[in-house]
Amino acid sequence: MNANLEVVPMQEWIQTDGKPLIIAGPCSAETEEQVLETARRIKAEGYAHIMRAGVWKPRTRPGSFEGMGEPALKWLVEAKKETGLPLAIEVATPEHIELALKYGVDVLWIGARTTVNPFNVQDLADALKGVDVPVLVKNPVNPDLALWVGAFERLQGSGIKKLGAIHRGFSNAQETKYRNSPMWAMAVELKRLFPQMPIIGDPSHMAGKRALLMELSQRILDLNYDGMIIETHRDPDAAWSDASQQVTPEKLGEMLRELEVRKASYGADFSDELAALREKIDNIDRELLEVLTARMSVVEKLGEYKRDNNVAVLQLDRWKQLHGDRANQAKGLGLYPEFVEELFKLIHLESIRKQTEVMNSATA
């Protein structure tokens, strides 16, 4: 995968005094009064660098609240004048971009439902040609790193270099405690490919409920993300969209003050101990690979047995039993069941591939 994206450092388009970037505001701009009161209370708390609000809301079904559109931009401009906070909104069409730029919006972001469609992203990229504005891209709804990277490449092709990623989690076919499963490895891999890319965590959309915001926000900081985008509303329970995942500006301030910001690097005093611990991890990883090799050897024999007895490779009952059993074992060992389920999905898929290979080898 191409790793040559040219990205302007985040510090060149927003000053955070070395602190993680905080983008805060309501899920939706509902009324002028709601926008202004929320903005004032955010400003009074002093944690936000940028104010966010939904102006156009992509909803799954018609009839839901889909945002106030252009009138909301006028309210946000007033909030910016009063508080001095730059503005960030989501755009999904070239017309959205035109209006956002007309009203002086400072930062644009592309939502998960738009990132998933390369045609839509290209339309936005074309509309942004010749524009010098930061553009943040949320991960696609489903865990597809190539789609995420492709969106950045399309934007860069239009000359946009002030880029950033928003990690908001991914839809999951299985029920979990999160609205959108974080799947941290996907964001870590993006950072590995593009270390210059700012990554901003979205604990609100990962969580789906305010009780999980603290743990997810701390995890985001533990992974040394560049900042967070969090929803806050003057009266969360009365919000017109995503009420359950929003908190008041004051509650958000309280939570942010309790979070621990980790050091991005470590001093020489810690080098020896870290090196020793990493060596232990390397040794354990080698053992894990050896165990996986042994497992796959048994899988090949299983494939031969199924082949010789004319038995299908995929056994759904076994698939279900394996996932439930491994998740229960994970709980007893102090591991996250969701992590173990995802791990064994991959292992089982590789087992199916191996067995299919054995089946086909007999007929080649």
pLDDT in tens, 182-194: 989 899 999 999 9
Same domain? For 126 and 199 the reply is yes
Same domain? For 43 and 164 the reply is yes
Same domain? For 251 and 345 the reply is no
Looking at the domain assignment, is residue 4 inside a domain? no
Compute the average pLDDT of residues 313-329.
Answer: 80
SS3 42: helix
Looking at the domain assignment, is residue 283 inside a domain? yes
Looking at the domain assignment, is residue 2 inside a domain? no
Looking at the domain assignment, is residue 127 inside a domain? yes
SS3 13: coil
Using the structure block, give the residue that is written with the tokens 């009064």.
Answer: 33
In 3D, which of 234, 317, 226, 290 has the Cα closest to residue 10? Answer: 226
Same domain? For 208 and 351 the reply is no
Same domain? For 284 and 241 the reply is no
**What's the whole-model pTM score?**
0.78
Looking at the domain assignment, is residue 5 inside a domain? no
CA-CA distance, 162 to 334, in Å (whole number)? Answer: 41
The token pair at 162 is 């002030």
CA-CA distance, 362 to 88, in Å (whole number)? Answer: 59
In 3D, which of 142, 166, 141 has the Cα closest to residue 152? Answer: 166
Q: What is the pLDDT of residues 123-143, one digit of tens each?
A: 999 999 999 999 999 999 999
Same domain? For 250 and 356 the reply is no
Higher pLDDT, 157 or 323: 157
In 3D, which of 51, 50, 98, 42 has the Cα closest to residue 70? Answer: 98
Whether residue 352 is predicted with pLDDT greater than 60 in this model: the reply is: yes
Q: Which of 237, 258, 279 is the last residue before a domain boundary?
A: 258
Looking at the domain assignment, is residue 226 inside a domain? yes
User: Using DSSP, how many helices (H) and how many strands (E) does the chain show?
Assistant: 13, 8
Summary mean pLDDT of the chain: 91
Looking at the domain assignment, is residue 83 inside a domain? yes
Same domain? For 25 and 156 the reply is yes
At a CB cut-off of 8 Å and minimum separation 6, what does 170 contact? 139, 140, 141, 142, 143, 180, 181, 182, 183, 186
Same domain? For 208 and 302 the reply is no
Given a contact cutoff of 8 angstroms between Cβ atoms, the answer to whether 208 and 245 are in contact is yes
For the chain, what is the domain count?
A: 2
Given a contact cutoff of 8 angstroms between Cβ atoms, the answer to whether 166 and 175 are in contact is no
Q: What is the pLDDT of residues 232-250, one digit of tens each?
A: 999 999 999 999 999 999 9
CA-CA distance, 29 to 45, in Å (whole number)? Answer: 20
Whether residue 1 is predicted with pLDDT greater than 70 in this model: the reply is: no
CATH for 252: 3.20.20.70
Whether residue 268 is predicted with pLDDT greater than 60 in this model: the reply is: no
- Domain containing 296 equals 268-363
Per-residue pLDDT at 30: 97
Same domain? For 289 and 238 the reply is no
Using the structure block, give the residue that is written with the tokens 């004319």.
Answer: 310
The token pair at 302 is 């299983």
Same domain? For 136 and 82 the reply is yes
Quote the percentage of the chain above a pLDDT of 70.
Answer: 94
Residues 275, 183, 120, 85, CA torsion sign: negative
Same domain? For 274 and 237 the reply is no
CATH for 300: 1.20.59.10
Report the DSSP beta bridge partners of residue 201.
167, 228
Same domain? For 117 and 237 the reply is yes
Higher pLDDT, 66 or 223: 223
Per-residue pLDDT at 321: 81
Q: Which of 235, 258, 281 is the last residue before a domain boundary?
A: 258
Other beta carbons less than 10 A from residue 208's beta carbon:
18
Alpha carbon distances (Å) from 62 to 30, 59, 140 = 18, 7, 21
334: left (phi over 0), alpha (psi -120 to 50) or beta: left
Looking at the domain assignment, is residue 1 inside a domain? no
Higher pLDDT, 195 or 174: 195
Q: Which of 206, 228, 258 is the last residue before a domain boundary?
A: 258
The model's confidence at residue 269, banded by pLDDT at 50, 70 and 90, is low
